[in-house]
């Protein structure tokens, strides 16, 4: 009974969310469609971070750098080599995967805050590297890309997000996901059970970075512009905040996390109630409030709602998707 409920509820929620996202643009203005596309970009990026941080336990606060890698791949291939923009997405995923594997190497030796600082350094360095090769990246002046309608951007961002979501779900529910979680929960136990730490850590970084790179590609298409400032530190931090708000180690809260980091600051800025100097303060206060109310993120809340009545209270502490299947 219990297994049945949980195995049906998840896909049901996913299908309902997919339908809602699919029909939503009919009631949105062109502007809100591109805002919706931005939410889709963050959905993909947060999901990417979740793979390496939430599931594998390797903290990264530099995922903006991988988005930059993907964004520049798309920009350079379309701007200088005449690729059609959608064709660049697989290329961005490959380049991002390679970058992720390279950055993942320190993860073999560093843990916790030391690894976090390493990824932080990468986030700081990548925009500077882009600045130093203007012939290749357009430098500070940047590169402009073709513009698309809000509807095209919305559909592209969410189709990509949907594909990535399904792929991640398939990956994480199986053998690989189990290995990732084993690494996260206890490296010693994982290794003694035959899980190769070097392989799974670098693979997790690579996959995560590849997905983040695809998010960066779509981000660049939505903005139709790229320069180093687009991929500043703020981007990395927002992806991290979105992952924590959504719930680390679960796929189901990602939508809430994405909407949170993308729509809340925008809503505050547009609101006449707040002066712009207060926006970061309010945003920060809300983040703290959400942390206090939902320490395990939105996924945990969703889980509790879905299992209301059928599960004992202790179930609320286990985010959906991390429980053993």
Partner 1 sequence: MTRRMIGALVLAVLVTGAAVATAAFASSSATPGVSKKTITIGGTFPLTGPAALYAAIPKAEFAYFSYVNAHGGVNGRQIVFKYDDDGYNPANTVPQTKKLVEQDHVFAVYGSLGTAPTLATRDYLNKAGVPQVLVATGDSYWGAQYKQYPWTIGFQPDYPGESRVYGQFIASKIPQAKIGVLMQDDAYGQNYYNGLLQGLGDSKSKIVDVEKYDSTATDVSQQIVKLKASGANVLVLFSLPTQTIGALVVTTKIGWKPTTFVNNVSGSSLFMYLAQQAGAKIDGDITATYLFDYTNNPNAPSAKLYKSIVDKYDPGANPLDSDIEYGFASAWTMVQALKEAGANPTRASLMNALTHMSGWKNPFLYPGVTMTTTGTERFPIDQQILEQYRSGAWHPFGHIFSKAR
- Which CB, 25 or 54, lies closer to partner 1? 25
Q: Which of 76, 130, 168, 259 binds partner 1 (CB under 8 A)?
A: 259
User: Do 232 and 127 meet the contact criterion of CB atoms below 8 Å apart?
Assistant: yes
By CB under 8 A, tell whether 44 contacts partner 1.
Answer: no
| Closest alpha carbon to 133 in 75, 211, 82, 191 | 75
Q: How far is the CB of 184 from partner 1 (least distance, A)?
A: 25
Burial class of residue 109 (count of CB atoms within 10 Å of its CB; 0-12, 13-18, 19+) = exposed
**Of residues 124-183, which lie at the interface with partner 1 (CB under 8 A)?**
128, 131, 134, 139-142, 144-145, 147, 150
Q: Which of 31, 135, 175, 192 binds partner 1 (CB under 8 A)?
A: 31
Name beta bridge partners: 143. Answer: 226
DSSP SS3 for 296? coil
User: Do 204 and 51 meet the contact criterion of CB atoms below 8 Å apart?
Assistant: yes
**Of residues 275-294, which lie at the interface with partner 1 (CB under 8 A)?**
276-277, 279-280, 286, 289-290, 293-294
Residue with tokens 């992806």: 239
By CB under 8 A, tell whether 17 contacts partner 1.
Answer: no
Q: Which of 32, 86, 152, 171 binds partner 1 (CB under 8 A)?
A: 32
Query: Where do the H-state alpha helices sit in the chain?
Result: 2-23, 30-49, 63-81, 88-104, 112-132, 134-137, 150-173, 175-185, 187-192, 197-223, 233-246, 254-270, 279-293, 298-306
Which residues here bind partner 1, judged by CB under 8 A?
A: 24, 28-32, 34-36, 38, 128, 131, 134, 139-142, 144-145, 147, 150, 223-225, 227, 229-232, 234-235, 256, 259-260, 263-264, 266-267, 269-270, 276-277, 279-280, 286, 289-290, 293-294, 298, 301, 304-305, 308, 316
């Amino acid at each position: 009974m219990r297994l049945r409920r949980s195995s049906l509820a998840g896909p049901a929620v996913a299908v309902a969310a997919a339908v809602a996202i699919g029909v939503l643009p009919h009631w949105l203005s062109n502007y809100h469609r591109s805002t919706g596309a931005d939410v889709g970009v963050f959905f993909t990026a947060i999901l990417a971070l979740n793979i390496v941080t939430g599931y594998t336990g390797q903290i990264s606060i530099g995922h903006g750098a991988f988005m930059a890698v993907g964004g520049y791949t798309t920009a350079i291939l379309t701007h200088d080599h005449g690729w059609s923009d959608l064709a660049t997405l697989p290329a961005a995923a490959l380049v991002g995967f390679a970058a992720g594997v390279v950055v993942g190497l320190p993860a073999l030796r560093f843990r916790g805050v030391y690894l976090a600082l390493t990824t932080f350094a990468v986030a700081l360095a990548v925009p500077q590297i882009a600045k130093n090769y203007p012939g290749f990246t357009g430098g500070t002046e940047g590169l402009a890309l073709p513009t698309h309608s809000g509807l095209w951007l919305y559909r592209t961002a969410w189709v990509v997000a949907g594909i990535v979501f399904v792929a991640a779900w398939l990956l994480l529910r199986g053998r690989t996901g189990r290995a990732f979680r084993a690494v996260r929960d206890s490296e010693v136990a994982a290794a003694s059970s035959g899980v190769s730490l070097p392989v799974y850590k670098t693979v997790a970084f690579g996959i995560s970075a590849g997905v983040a790179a695809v998010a960066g590609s779509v981000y660049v298409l939505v903005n139709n512009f790229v320069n180093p400032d687009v991929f500043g530190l703020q981007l990395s931090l927002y992806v991290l905040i979105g992952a924590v708000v959504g719930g680390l180690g679960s796929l189901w809260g990602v939508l809430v996390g994405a909407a949170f980091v993308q729509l809340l600051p925008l809503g505050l800025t547009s609101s006449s109630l707040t002066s712009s100097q207060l926006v970061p303060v309010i945003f920060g206060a809300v983040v703290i409030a959400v942390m206090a109310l939902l320490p395990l993120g939105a996924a945990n809340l969703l889980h509790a709602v879905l299992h209301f009545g059928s599960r004992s209270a202790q179930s609320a502490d286990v985010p959906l998707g991390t429980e053993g299947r």
